[in-house]
Amino acid sequence: MNPNLQLTPDGRLRHLLTLEGLEPALLRQILDKAEELEAATQGPEKKLGLLRGRTVINLFFEASTRTRTTFELAAQRLSADVLNLQVSASSTSKGETLLDTLKTLEAMQADMFVIRHEASGAAHFFAEHAAPGVAILNAGDGRHAHPTQGLLDLYTIRKHKGDFRQLTVAIVGDILHSRVARSDIHGLRTLGAREIRVVAPPTLIPAGIEEMGVKVYHSLAAGLDGADVVMLLRLQKERMLGAFLPSLGEFHRDFGLTRERLRHLKPDAIIMHPGPINRGVEIEGDLAYGERSLILQQVQYGISVRMAVMALILGGEA
């Protein structure tokens, strides 16, 4: 994939397809903008006029309530007109191609498409064929990337832990199928995290992941030892049994975060999860919203982060 596709000739963001290859200054600019917008929308009036007159279309080929809703809220709080399309039940099921869909919707004078698709590279395909002035935001494509989730995870970590260069981050769970893990790793490396660990059974670790600059652990206790941040990933149950895991119960026994296992973390460590949570599998039930958990804050921050990306691309914000 061409990483420069998402930048203008002067280095500004044109599309957001992946965090891979983006400069540290650009990531920090997005996080700073999110902080500014979060502060500006804390009062009773949550709407800003930055995207008034613009049209954003959420084009979801995969079902998603949490991600689609936060993109919708982000666009609405910038005063954009928003259209939500669940495409699996619409034109593509009647034989229309992806390109037909894009061009038809472009004709309705859309300015931005937020796209989720089960195929890796789908957002990149749309960006390659989008008309000049039309932006593409990747809301998750296959196993490849989920860049706004990665950004909101970075935002959460920076807000609560500060300087990335002092941090050890443990990512635990289904690394193999996770686009979130890949986006988090790219972002954490770019911003200089001291150490990034991936923790999972061998069947859920992709071959060669060490080349991304991470350390691989197959023991949860060792992987959590002295960590500042633990990022739990959702087990995708439909893919987990059989070849990957004997059972969900066995995964929880060996890799689930429990109150007893918290002792391996630093005393002020934080717990994160992109959701939705499988309670009793990735995490013990009462820890999910406990004092160390930032899971609900991640959802809240996701709106500000998505507003920041939209404002920087469509609003001409610097």
Cα 29 from Cα 311, distance rounded (Å)? 12
Establish whether the linkage from the previous residue to 276 is cis, with ω within 30° of 0. Answer: yes
Contact between residue 274 and residue 148 where contact means Cβ atoms under 8 Å apart: no
For the segment 303-317, the average pLDDT, to the nearest whole number, is: 91
What tens digit of pLDDT does each residue of 114-125 get?
A: 999 989 999 999
Averaged pLDDT for residues 224-244: 81
Q: Which residues pair with 84 in a beta bridge?
A: 58
The label of the residue with tokens 């998505």 reads 306
Residue 167 has pLDDT above 80, yes or no: yes
Do 198 and 181 contact (CB within 8 A), yes or no?
Answer: yes
| Closest CA relative to residue 149, chosen from 25, 281, 301, 4 | 301
Is the overall model pTM greater than 0.85, yes or no? yes
> How confident is residue 237, by pLDDT bands cut at 50, 70 and 90?
low
Q: Which of 91-95, 132-136, 144-148 has the lowest mean pLDDT?
A: 91-95
CA-to-CA distance for 275 and 238, rounded, in angstroms?
16
Q: How far apart are CA 242 and CA 244, in angstroms?
A: 6
- Is 231 in contact with 190 (CB distance < 8 Å)? no
Provide CB contacts within 8 A for 181, sequence distance 6+: 171, 175, 198, 231, 233
- Considering all CA atoms of the chain, what is the largest pairwise distance in Å, rounded to the nearest integer? 57
Question: Averaged over 6-21, what is the pLDDT?
Answer: 94
Average pLDDT, rounded, for the chain: 91
**DSSP element (H, E) containing 27:** helix 24-40
